[in-house]
Structure 1
Amino acid sequence: MSLTLRGAAALVRPDGNAYERDEALLAYQRDLLAPYGIEVDEDLMKQSRNIGFRELAEELMDRCPSPFGTPDLLILAYGLPDRYPLKTVTTRLNALFGGGSRSFAVSENGLRAPFTALRIADAYARSGKAASLALFVCEQTTLPYRDPLVHDTPLLDSAVLLYFDTGTDTGYRLIASRAAGSDVPLGELLAGQRPALPPGPALLVAGPWPTDDQLGGLDLPVHRCQPGGYCTSVWLDLVRHHEEWATQYASLVLCDTDPRTGRSQVAVLSNADVPEIRKARL
């Protein structure tokens, strides 16, 4: 069984919350950073947006256009740490969904986290152990130290909710998710996906990080995501455009390259219900 996208919501928060001093959190951060010779910069935190994963995820649930039942799997994927790293956000979200999900987070993967989460969920679905997935991808920018990726890019506080199930063939379904080592260029990874693409028009959806010369491996039209997201970029644009793209493209190839590690990722979604494909079946 393949996971099919049933609903989605996106959130970008250019605003923020007032900084509230938390002595326990500051003590934890000092202990965590001291062995690396890094000092907590409370002034930087005061200038930040101070929005945590729980706030982002709960707002996404309110924005999702369709009501859904309790998902079999609930996964939170993130590349940057939460503002409150000791809070278990998936447990809270599980309770809001009814408390019946297998819930966990995928972290320490950088930009790869959402792609990794989809591979895990796909394995569950193909084994028959899960028929639905709520995937949250969250990114917040309040850190107790300066990070060039966050502060010099700069990044926005953003998040995505993608809800998949296996109960319908209508819509984009996940057919592949691939990772490459740091020594494998994105162009080579993309070229390897060409034989697996279903018939019909396809679109390459590229994050802001790969260089232009790496995007020619499939010889497809390219939708380039705007800067502002680290691990949320291609997923934000998938939410914004998937309904429009479903009328034009039989396949979407989502790709990005982690600027920290050089490792590239690809996910392929297929929609057999695109008008051109329907006509060919008649």
Structure 2
Amino acid sequence: MFSDKNPPFEHPDLLRFHRDMLTPSPVKYDVDLLQKRNNNAYHDMSTDLLESTGLDRVIAEVDVLLFAYNFPNIRPDISIVNYLMDRYQSRFISFAVNDLGFGAPFAALHMLQHYLSREDCSKGMLLIMDQTALPYETPELGAAPGPDTAAVIFMDRTTGAGPCLLGVEMKHADQSIADTAALVLERLCGEASVHRSQIALLVHPGLEQLCNQTLWYEECGWKGSYDPMLWSAAPFFALQELLEEKDGREYVCLMHLEQTDRFIHALLIRTGE
């Protein structure tokens, strides 16, 4: 998490960019909001995260790097992936995924899984970030936006060590959310030839409330939920904590609910335990 406050980036061209971008819209431009928030730019958050986790030492070996976020960057003048390529002298395939709400990381993982199935791609990385310094009000942030957040996932299919991505599912709940969640889990388990009883299920608390009386939910080997207040990185913070427990769980299913649009996002991993 990035809770330290930085002064707003004072640059006339950037302030004019934000003002001009909002002029044709009903959104009110309010630069004073930047004074109240943390003002962490994604290129700085990326390097701090990589260097604090030690992943800066392997990024030069990465074949494909994806960047997922919900809130836009306070520094639209800097391309994060190009900045990282230059800083770490890397030559990875890279692009960003956004405009999908807090489901953006799951869409990015779906793409990452596709790339890692190719013979010329064996190492992948996903950066998940959200900063809350915006010069306009948004319903998600409200009065107390909290800290900026970031998480990172690194996968290497050549060594077989550590987490291995087995599947990603994204499905709209046309009718019952609980039934849709059951279908999503059934698809993931079927593709990996895994039974529900072998799975540690980590879910959004809203999904837990809707599903905790169902048979399929009860059949899962372990159940838990996470705090969704840390933006799009929230599920992945909880996943990392679960993986660090080292208690012998072989399979983990992470399932996220976007309540507004009734979308369920899920991934299944083998932990390497």
Q: Same fold (TM over 0.5)?
A: yes
Query: What is the SS of the residue equivalent to 2:201?
Result: strand
Q: 1:89 to 1:247 in 2, by over 3 A?
A: same
Q: 1:249 to 1:185 in 2, by over 3 A?
A: farther
Identical residues among aligned pairs (%): 21
Give structure 2 stretches of 5+ with no counterpart: none
Q: Give 2:210's aligned residue.
A: 213
CA distance in 1, matches of 2:227, 2:208: 13
Superposed CA RMSD? 2.2
The letter for the 2-side match of 1:190 is A
Does structure 1 residue 250 correspond to structure 2 residue 250?
Answer: yes
Does structure 1 residue 52 correspond to structure 2 residue 48?
Answer: no
TM-score normalised to structure 1 length:
0.84
Query: What is the SS of the residue equivalent to 1:123?
Result: helix
Q: Give 2:88's aligned residue.
A: 97
Output aligned runs, 1:120-159, within 5 Å.
Answer: 120-152=111-143, 154-159=145-150
- Per the TM alignment, residue 155 of structure 1 is displaced from its structure 2 partner at its CA by 4.3
Q: 1:21 to 1:137 in 2, by over 3 A?
A: same
- Per the TM alignment, residue 28 of structure 1 is displaced from its structure 2 partner at its CA by 1.2
CA distance in 2, matches of 1:82, 1:209: 28
Equivalent pair of 1:208/1:226 in contact (CA under 8 Å): yes
The letter for the 1-side match of 2:194 is P
Q: 1:106 to 1:65 in 2, by over 3 A?
A: same
Q: 1:15 to 1:60 in 2, by over 3 A?
A: same
More helix by share: 2
Query: What is the SS of the residue equivalent to 2:135?
Result: coil
CA distance in 2, matches of 1:133, 1:124: 8
- Per the TM alignment, residue 184 of structure 1 is displaced from its structure 2 partner at its CA by 5.3
Q: Give 1:168's aligned residue.
A: 159
The letter for the 2-side match of 1:54 is H
TM-score normalised to structure 2 length:
0.87
Aligned length: 261
Does structure 1 residue 110 correspond to structure 2 residue 109?
Answer: no
| Higher mean C-alpha displacement, 256-265 vs 39-48 | 256-265
Query: What is the SS of the residue equivalent to 1:59?
Result: helix
- Per the TM alignment, residue 185 of structure 1 is displaced from its structure 2 partner at its CA by 4.6
